[in-house]
Chain A
């Protein structure tokens, strides 16, 4: 609208067609009418047999290359050693297995040149005369529709679907409940949650195990004395129960993993946090309250703890409060003390569920 007037002024002011040859390109009748399919322009290979021969040789060459690469693939399979010491460096992609490199390149060349040959053949030697084809009407004719409808109605009539509502209703009712067993039968996919989402392996007196001390087979580990932890260090730790958890080790760790941090008690802003710690050593759940990743990145100076998954940031010197990111709740603190042998143990379990929120959490 406003654009139109603007356009016309624009057009007549600057883009007039001074000097255009009047006869050239000016169309009689409707200038925008469809002139129909343009005439076919022959390609070089259509008119020059030498060019066509050249195309033929290129296509055949690509097919041959494919066959050679296929055989090379099979040779590489047996001849290139597949071990971690046979490495090739291929700039800029870095080091990779020699076997993988050889097999990938030969297979890639075999496939690629096969395809390239076929496409080159199609583009240079097969017809490129564009042909029109009519589209058929998708919608049925009125006559067909009428026949279909009457056939359908005859079918309904013959079934007595309308006259026998008892059959109709019982069928619909029965069909409606029939899929339910498909849901019912899935009941044993898992146990009901019960209160398990609220429980961890921590109880009063549970020994705290240093994660780095756990043996490769997962059955041996050692406790931590307060003197093992210097101010500013961070220790990942687990309850001693994981050493005997067997198949459920990962389940237990995903709920009960904790972090021990030793801070100068003067840095700790909360009296409860000091009381629940031991000589400035405090224990927090390692499981992020957002969606459950282990929090890991500790900033020594600020006592900020960052979850690497979604960057929720917790202040470990202030009850584990959230200071940034999508997590909504503080990291729960585990009250700790030392046992008779001088090892750190839990003073009690967590006072709240750890990890991500869930509907029943409250």
Chain B
């Protein structure tokens, strides 16, 4: 290529070359190819978490299209006469009957159902882990705050999509889930009853909810997810991927391997690995055996009903909340439902969505960041994240309080009461503990920088003292371990302007100073050059 001068015409000779030339003359694709074919992506195992989300979504689309060919989204009554004899002659909805048909009479139908359900679980789980990776490494910082919001939107849509999907078969378990949703909608002040009647087309369960959820599940939400995924990936591409600190890696470059051929093969291959893994799950591990549950009847229920894992937190919160209900002026306000259904999720999800902006406001950091933080180097952020995970975890755990009670022979009341306290106490403890661990790890890094790595060689001094020989780190490692920035809290003098005039909003400035004190007040300083030389020379005593 480099031998061609600008005005030298490239004459395509191969079939592929001719096709590319045809397209280029109409679309000018060479310009885009020039920039992107050899685009560099950095390599780290944690960067594949987002890929799992994307690939499981593609698996969902493919298996979902197959399922729509056989599923009947109707609540009309039919009498079952299919090949699953235990339900022979039973009255059920067409939705449930067609799901039985997919499971027992369509070849590969059960496999596609199970692949679809497993892929949904992988999708939501991968999104959660991917978000945690972004959070703990500070990848949400400028310029990626907007992509964090898009990702957050995808997370919420994925939860909604999952709930709609598993409500469709109209089996006893899914109908119970809808009943709980309807009971919660009724608790919304002023408009709750109306929302419920409009959603269900009247009384619960009515005849409308399955066809309506079907449209939401196969058209509305997947369309939104597809649009947001596209925007998400365009931004990743355009802003370029973040990378870990290391020799030769700066905020101004990206170091890694080229898209073509390495990432085409790796990422393309990984799609097949994810798909293959989900296909094996679908073939080997039964999931959601709706034929065992029977059709939905509002008067029946099975003990130990469990939703999909991602609903567990909400379920646990609902089980945990004490029975507070207010009656006043002829109205009922069900705090026992509103707190776990609306207030707690609003705080938790609002906090997740707004965190990048909160942190940016506290630190006052307006620079672009492309080098990731090691979680230990931002102890307060990491501790907030772990406290959040703990909070979520306690709720999730309590979502299975009945199963825990029956499996471990405990009292369900005791478990619930434990969770009621634990949801406040454990996150605080986790916050404290995480900070201590982060500081400890930072001290260890500092120690490694100053005194090198333990060599395993024991040295006995002429005085008889034993010590272990430490090997100094190579410069690349020294650089990596000291590449981070140690933030300092703002003091109030700093929130006045250059002439000492207080900033216009003193109260806000004071709050910010206090927040930075909380964030960065306790910190481990990096080793300085002098300390390093001092430590090295002390080795010659």
Q: Which residues of A line the B interface, CB within 8 A?
A: 1, 3-4, 7, 11-12, 15-20, 22, 24-27, 30-38, 77, 82-84, 90, 93-94, 96-97, 99-105, 107-119, 121-123, 126-135, 138, 186, 189-193, 196-197, 211, 216-218, 236, 238, 247-248, 250-251, 253-255, 257, 286, 290-294, 296-297, 308-312, 322, 324-329, 355-362
Measured in the bound complex, the distance between the Cα atoms of B506 and A206 in whole Å is: 72
Q: Which residue of B lies closest to A286 (CB)?
A: B299
With the chains together, A346 CA to B368 CA distance in Å?
73
Q: Is the CB of B476 within 8 A of A35?
A: yes
Name the distance in Å between A99's Cβ and chain B's nearest Cβ.
6
Whether a CB of chain A sits under 8 angstroms from the CB of B308 is no
What are the residues of chain B within 8 A of A211 when measuring CB–CB? 299
Question: Which one of B90, B296, B402, B533 contacts A216 once the chains associate, using CB atoms below 8 Å?
Answer: B90
| B183 CB contacts on chain A under 8 angstroms | 290-293, 355-356
26 CB-based A-B contacts, threshold 8 Å: A3-B524, A7-B443, A11-B535, A19-B459, A32-B482, A34-B483, A84-B83, A108-B282, A112-B276, A118-B265, A119-B265, A119-B273, A122-B269, A123-B266, A130-B256, A132-B253, A197-B193, A216-B89, A253-B299, A254-B299, A291-B180, A293-B183, A309-B305, A322-B323, A324-B413, A359-B332
In the assembled complex, which residues on chain A have CB atoms less than 8 Å from the CB atom of B473? 25
Contact with A along B294-316 (1 / 0, CB 8 A): 00111111111100000000010
The segment from B15-23, B106-114, B156-164 found at the interface with A is: B106-114
Closest A residue to B115 by beta carbon equals: A104
Q: Which residues on B sit within 8 Å (CB–CB) of A218?
A: 91
Partner of B247, one of A17, A38, A247: A38
What per-residue 1/0 map shows which CB atoms of B260-278 lie under 8 Å from chain A?
0110011011111111110
A186 (CB) vs chain B CBs: closest residue: B198
Are the CB atoms of B179 and A17 closer together than 8 Å? no
A302 CB to nearest B CB, Å? 13
Decide if B199 touches A190 in the complex (CB within 8 Å).
yes
- B537: shortest Cβ distance to chain A, in Å? 8
Known A19-B539, A253-B298; contact A358-B332, beta-carbon cutoff 8 A: yes
A356, closest chain B residue (CB): B183
> Is B46 among interface residues, defined by CB-CB distance under 8 A?
no
In the bound assembly, the distance between CA atoms of A103 and B449 in angstroms comes to 55
Q: Which of A37, A192, A359 has the most CB of B within 10 A?
A: A359
Contacting pair B298 A96 (CB below 8 A): no
**A-facing mask of B53-91, CB < 8 A → 1, else 0?**
000000000000000000000000101000111000111
B186: min CB distance to chain A, Å: 4
Question: With A15-B450, A105-B280, A115-B272 given, can you name 8 additional A-B contacts, CB distance below 8 Å?
Answer: A25-B475, A32-B529, A82-B105, A111-B275, A128-B257, A130-B257, A294-B300, A359-B187
Closest B residue to A34 by beta carbon equals: B479
B305/A308 in contact, CB under 8 A? yes
Give bound CA distance, A211 to B536, whole Å.
85
Interface presence of B431 (CB below 8 A): no
Task: Enumerate chain A residues within 8 angstroms of B108, measured Cβ to Cβ.
Answer: 77, 99, 103
B121 on the interface (CB 8 Å rule)? no
Q: For B334, what are the chain A residues with a Cβ–Cβ distance below 8 Å?
A: 328, 356-357
* B327 close to chain A: CB less than 8 A: yes
CB distance A17 to B300 under 8 Å?
no
A293 touching B180 in the complex, CB below 8 Å, given contacts A100-B110, A103-B108: yes
- Indicate if B446 sits at the interface (CB-CB under 8 A): yes
Q: Please name the residue on chain B nearest to A95 by beta carbon.
A: B286
Q: Which of the four size classes fits the interface of chain B?
A: 35 or more
A18, A257, A308, A309: which contacts B539 (Cβ < 8 A)? A18
Which of A24, A135, A292, A362 is B471 in contact with, Cβ under 8 Å? A24
Would A33 and B479 count as touching, CB distance under 8 A? yes
Chain A positions within 8 Å of B439 at CB level: 3
Beta-carbon contact of B107 and A34 below 8 Å: no
Closest chain B residue to A138, Cβ basis: B143
Q: B280 and A104: CB pair below 8 A?
A: yes
CB of A71 to closest CB in B, whole Å: 15
Asked if residues A115 and B261 are in contact (CB atoms below 8 Å), the reply is no
Cβ contact of A309, chosen from B176, B254, B470, cutoff 8 A: B176
Dominant secondary structure of chain A at its interface with chain B:
loop
Given the complex of chains A and B, what is the CA–CA distance between A238 and B77 in angstroms? Answer: 20
By the criterion CB–CB under 8 Å, are B257 and A131 in contact? yes
With a cutoff of 8 Å between Cβ atoms, the chain B residues found around residue A94 in the complex are 286
Contact A122 B325 (CB under 8 A): no
Collect the chain B residues with CB atoms within 8 Å of residue A290's CB.
183, 323, 336-337
Partner of A32, one of B91, B324, B478, B523: B478
CB distance from A246 to the nearest CB of B (A): 8
Contacting residues, chain B, for A31 (C-beta < 8 A): 475, 478, 529, 532-533
Q: Is the CB of B40 within 8 A of A133?
A: yes
Q: Which residues of the partner chain B approach A37 to less than 8 Å between Cβ atoms? A: 247-248, 255
Task: Identify which of A3, A36, A216, A255 contacts B91 (C-beta below 8 A).
Answer: A216
**CB < 8 Å neighbour of B469 from A18, A100, A108, A236:** A18
Would you call B322 and A326 a contact (CB within 8 A)?
yes
Interchain CB contact under 8 A, B475 and A327: no
- Interchain CB contact under 8 A, B257 and A127: yes
B161, chain A: closest CB distance, angstroms = 21
CA distance A197 to B523 in the complex (A): 59
Residues of chain A within 8 A (CB-CB) of B449 are 32
Residue of A nearest to B275 (CB): A111
Contact across chains for A27 and B475 when beta carbons are under 8 A apart: yes
In chain B, what residue has the closest Cβ to A114? Answer: B272
CB pair B471–A25 under 8 Å, yes or no, is yes
Q: A189 touching B331 by the CB < 8 A rule?
A: no
Contacts of A102 in B (CB 8 A): 283
Nearest A residue to B413 via CB reads A324
Q: Taking the nearest CB of chain A, how far is it from the CB of B367, in angstroms? A: 11
Residues in A neighbouring B539, C-beta threshold 8 A: 16-20, 22
Q: Is the CB of B180 within 8 A of A132?
A: no
- In the complex, A217→B79 CA distance in Å? 8
Give bound CA distance, A351 to B315, whole Å: 31
Shortest A213–chain B CB gap in Å is 14
A1-B179 in contact (CB<8A): no
B510: A residues at CB distance < 8 A: none
B398 → chain A, closest Cβ, in Å?
Answer: 10
- Is B370 interfacial (CB 8 A cutoff)? yes
**From A215, which residue of chain B is reached at the shortest CB distance?**
B91
Whether the pair B327, A134 counts as a contact (CB closer than 8 A) is no
Q: What are the nearest 5 A-B pairs in CB distance? A: A104-B283, A291-B183, A112-B276, A118-B269, A115-B272
B475 touches A35 (CB 8 A): yes
Which residues of A are found within 8 Å of B472, using beta-carbon distances? 17, 20, 24-26
Name the A residues within 8 Å of B494 (CB-CB). none
CB closest residue in chain A, given B540: A22
Residue of A nearest to B200 (CB): A190
Q: Are A122 and B252 in contact (CB under 8 A)?
A: no
**Bound form: Cα–Cα A249–B199 in Å:** 19
